[in-house]
Structure 1
Amino acid sequence: MQIRLWDNNLKVRLIGEGMFNMLFWMYFPFITVYFSYELGNSIAGILMTVPPIFSAIGSLLGGGLTDQFGRRPVMLLGALLQAVMFILFAVSPSPWIDYIAFIGIGFGGAIYRPASSAMVADLIPAENLREVFATFATANNIGAVLGPALGAIFFFQYRQELLWTCAVVLILYFITIYFIVHETVAQTREKNSKISSVFKEQWKGYGIIFRDKVFLIYILAGIFALIPIMQLDLYLPIYIINHVPAQQIFAWENGSFLLSSTDIFGWLVGFNGLLFVLFILPVTKWFRRWKERDVFILSSLLAGFGTFFVGLNSNIWYLFFVTIIFTFGEIVRSPVTQSFISRYAPEHARGQYMGADSLQNTIGKFLAPFMVFLSSWVPPIGVFSIILLFSFVSIILYIHLFKKYEEKPVHHEM
């Protein structure tokens, strides 16, 4: 589905979210380093386990509010909260206030995302969902490729200016949503005047969702599938820096281009991001006729075996090759997760399902670091074998999931 045919809601959000994600990746990769410098490694390590909890709460809250009040008001709330927290971060005199602001930024983003995803599902036919979600992922990952390189300069040398820029962009985005973006739900539920009634209704709604056995299997399968994918930021840097020797990537008559172990990891991360940007749209089109079940299984196989293969050879060109394998495992999965929930969730509870869907990512972030902890006692091939085992478990769960849930066929445009 070509962008020129999109609803104006989606065009505005593609530009706005793309700009913000560029700024996000200019500060996010360095935030742990900043808190480690200000508060010490041990305290920073403990502190960084807290934001995912608030993100999970924000996602559940945002999902419930999305169904209660509509998509647009919740997106406005999330954008405004992030802008206020960036201003607090910019004027903060203390790293502890910085930390509160950082949690607030994540909380505001978590409130925003279910409404954003639900709006896409409201406006796009089922047969085009994967492609549209892939386009948003492309815009987001352009920022993930370019942002860290720029952030290495701006975050440490011009942090206040960067934070103020983030705040200004979000304020402008808030104004744009207010004046241009229209509501996509014809009728929201009757609005309760009491906040306690709103939360009580949301709690009841999530109680129904978490008794949905098909959905619970989907969440559990996603957790096991994401653990291998998340190792790029967790165990792989430790393995590569400690076990992959420095080596030349190019050689010529009078010299060579030598990369240290740390450099090699940096190149692999950049290559991973570049592959994502270049191939997510083509790959989504290649697999658009595949059933969601088969895409999920393929993703788990590629991510699991690709990560396992890292431990078999330390040659840099070999590592580039296996990076292609595990990156494609992430690429084929990304648009399908959102399209699955968009199609599976009942229309009246779409926001809550979108919010609950984020739990697989949050729980995965809690469990994935276990590989780093385990590496102190288990040799690398053992750690990689356990990572591969998680992939097999996810495949078994996905097979079980689609035995319980009969996938509805979609009609693709020719």
Structure 2
Amino acid sequence: MQWRSWDLNLKVRLFGELITHTFFWMYFPFMALLFSDSFGKDVAGILLMIPPLLGIFSNLFAGYLADRIGRKPTMLISLFVSSSMFALFAFSWSPWIDYLAFIGIGVAGSLYWPASSAMVADLTTEEDRRVVFATFYTAMNIGVVAGPVLGSFFFVHYRTELLIACMIIEFLFAITVLFLIKETLPAHTREEKAKEGFSIKKQFRSYVVIFRDKVFALYTLAGVFVAIAFMQLDLYMALYVKENVMQQPLLSWGDWSFQVGGTSAFGWLMGLNGLLVVLFTLPVTNWFQHWSDRNSLVASSVLYGFGMFMMAFTSNIWLLFGCMVILTLGELIRTPVAQSFVSKYAPEDARGQYMGASSLQFSIGRFIAPLTIGFSAWMPPVGVFGIILGVSLLSACVYMYMFRLIPANQES
């Protein structure tokens, strides 16, 4: 699918999400460090479990809204709420207000993505979907290249100004969506949903039906396991690098050397992750497009788990870069496959709800993932990274079992 043939909705959102993600990654990776400093490791680990728990409900509600009132209104609600929460964060007078604003930003983000993914699926054909999702993933991760590196300076020294900039960017993107984006939910579907009326009971029943689908339930369970590992990039890995990677030369020439360590080393690692995503998402998608969904998802989980686990055995920045290359390859193989799998598996009239239900794997994973910070208080790094490897391999096993059921499920 050529860029020229893309719908205006896709082009506008591609640029908008690129910019908002750049600013997002200038502050988000440092939240675990901020709350660990403010509240201590044990309390921070518990506090970081609450936003994903709320995200579980907001994801489900977002999918319901996206299929009922439309993709565009749901996205607008998300963007205006997040802009307000950034304002609260910027002018906060207490760590607890910081935490409240952080919760609000997370809930707003959970509202956005089911509607956004459903809109992409509405506007693309099945054969083009992997490439379009991969392009969006590339654009969003351009921010991951510069965001953590810039954030390691601006978040520490100019946090208020950075958060004000985030507030303005979110608000401007909301205005752009309001005037340039058109609704993609078919009018007849909205009319039918409007006749049914709003009912929490009906919403709950619709999700019960979705999760009675054994294949989709297993897909979500496997996604939860791998999400626990994925989330460690800005949770335990951030803490491990800060505490164990001392100042060391990244580059040197004669008597001159560029030193990194602690928070700055973490910023460079996240920058490398983002750079690899930007440069290789589309090539990797093309290289592996003939792989089955099963092989892609299983290989992704295994690579990510081992890439993360090997970090336990080194504090050398260049060896850590090598580990990051391995786990990022797993990330690149997985993302477009996972997104296209749900869009082609879901019934067209319930696409938003299936996207919302699929997002649960990340919300539940993020809810459980901060436990590693608590574990780190009494376990050595190899033990914590061993747990991360274990859940990654468990996800691969669940994926293999799930795909054995799909042919029988299709025949029935």
The two structures share one fold, judged by TM-score above 0.5: yes
Structure 1 partner of 2:334: 333
Query: Given the alignment of the two structures, is residue 300 of structure 1 paired with residue 275 of structure 2, yes or no?
Result: no
Post-superposition Cα deviations, 1:36-79, rounded to whole Å, max 9, x if no partner, equal 66666665544332211222211111001111122122112222
Q: List gaps (5 residues or longer) in structure 2.
A: none
| 1:236 counterpart letter in structure 2 | M
| 1:179 counterpart letter in structure 2 | F
Query: Given the alignment of the two structures, is residue 352 of structure 1 paired with residue 382 of structure 2, yes or no?
Result: no
Contact 2:148 2:271 in 1 (8 A): no
Structure 1 partner of 2:278: 277
Report 1 or 2 for greater relative contact order, CA contacts < 8 Å, sequence distance ≥ 6.
2
Cα 1:392–1:153 shift into 2, 3 Å:
closer
Structure 2 partner of 1:183: 183
Cα 1:274–1:347 shift into 2, 3 Å:
same
**What does residue range 86-105 of structure 1 map to in structure 2 within 5 Å?**
86-105=86-105
Contact 1:70 1:188 in 2 (8 A): no
Distance 1:350 1:151 in 2: 36
Contact 2:61 2:356 in 1 (8 A): yes
| SS at 2:212 equivalent | coil
Distance 1:20 1:142 in 2: 11
Q: How much does 1:202 deviate?
A: 1.3
Distance 1:225 1:42 in 2: 23
| SS at 1:174 equivalent | helix
Distance 1:157 1:241 in 2: 17
Contact 1:192 1:198 in 2 (8 A): no
Cα 1:26–1:312 shift into 2, 3 Å:
closer
**What does residue range 226-375 of structure 1 map to in structure 2 within 5 Å?**
226-240=227-241, 247-250=248-251, 252-254=253-255, 259-260=260-261, 264-312=265-313, 315-375=316-376
Q: Compare 247-256 and 200-209 and name the one that shifted more.
A: 247-256
Structure 2 partner of 1:108: 108
Cα 1:266–1:113 shift into 2, 3 Å:
closer
Q: How much does 1:336 deviate?
A: 1.3
| SS at 2:289 equivalent | coil
Structure 2 partner of 1:21: 21
Q: How much does 1:380 deviate?
A: 4.2
Structure 1 partner of 2:401: 400
Structure 2 partner of 1:199: 200
Q: List gaps (5 residues or longer) in structure 1.
A: 409-414
Q: Compare 317-326 and 374-383 and name the one that shifted more.
A: 374-383
Distance 1:207 1:170 in 2: 34
| 1:227 counterpart letter in structure 2 | I
Q: How much does 1:7 deviate?
A: 0.3
Q: How much does 1:148 deviate?
A: 2.7
Distance 1:176 1:259 in 2: 39
Distance 1:407 1:120 in 2: 29
Q: Compare 361-370 and 27-36 and name the one that shifted more.
A: 27-36
Cα 1:104–1:259 shift into 2, 3 Å:
closer
Distance 1:315 1:33 in 2: 21
Q: How much does 1:112 deviate?
A: 1.4
Contact 2:66 2:353 in 1 (8 A): yes
| 1:182 counterpart letter in structure 2 | K
Query: Given the alignment of the two structures, is residue 224 of structure 1 paired with residue 229 of structure 2, yes or no?
Result: no
Q: Compare 74-83 and 327-336 and name the one that shifted more.
A: 74-83
Q: Compare 330-339 and 220-229 and name the one that shifted more.
A: 220-229
Contact 1:86 1:167 in 2 (8 A): yes
Cα 1:206–1:241 shift into 2, 3 Å:
same
Contact 2:67 2:353 in 1 (8 A): yes
Structure 2 partner of 1:411: none
Cα 1:130–1:258 shift into 2, 3 Å:
same
Q: Compare 89-98 and 338-347 and name the one that shifted more.
A: 89-98
Distance 2:380 2:29 in 1: 28
Distance 2:151 2:282 in 1: 26
Structure 2 partner of 1:412: none
Post-superposition Cα deviations, 1:338-379, rounded to whole Å, max 9, x if no partner, equal 111111111111111111111111222233344444455555
Contact 1:296 1:398 in 2 (8 A): yes
Structure 2 partner of 1:73: 73
Contact 2:144 2:275 in 1 (8 A): no
Cα 1:320–1:3 shift into 2, 3 Å:
same
Structure 1 partner of 2:216: 215
Percentage identity across paired residues of the two chains: 52
Cα 1:51–1:281 shift into 2, 3 Å:
same
| SS at 2:336 equivalent | helix
| SS at 1:185 equivalent | coil
Distance 1:3 1:316 in 2: 38
Q: How much does 1:220 deviate?
A: 1.1
Query: Given the alignment of the two structures, is residue 137 of structure 1 paired with residue 137 of structure 2, yes or no?
Result: yes
Contact 1:229 1:326 in 2 (8 A): no
Contact 1:69 1:188 in 2 (8 A): no
| 1:272 counterpart letter in structure 2 | N
Cα 1:245–1:148 shift into 2, 3 Å:
closer
| 1:398 counterpart letter in structure 2 | Y
Structure 1 partner of 2:124: 124
Distance 1:240 1:155 in 2: 18
Structure 2 partner of 1:163: 163
Distance 1:316 1:99 in 2: 31
Distance 1:373 1:244 in 2: 20
Distance 2:384 2:31 in 1: 27
Normalised TM-score (structure 1): 0.87
Contact 2:27 2:151 in 1 (8 A): yes
| SS at 1:405 equivalent | helix
| 1:364 counterpart letter in structure 2 | G
Contact 1:145 1:274 in 2 (8 A): yes
Distance 1:176 1:32 in 2: 32
Contact 2:245 2:315 in 1 (8 A): yes
| 2:25 counterpart letter in structure 1 | W
Distance 1:208 1:55 in 2: 21
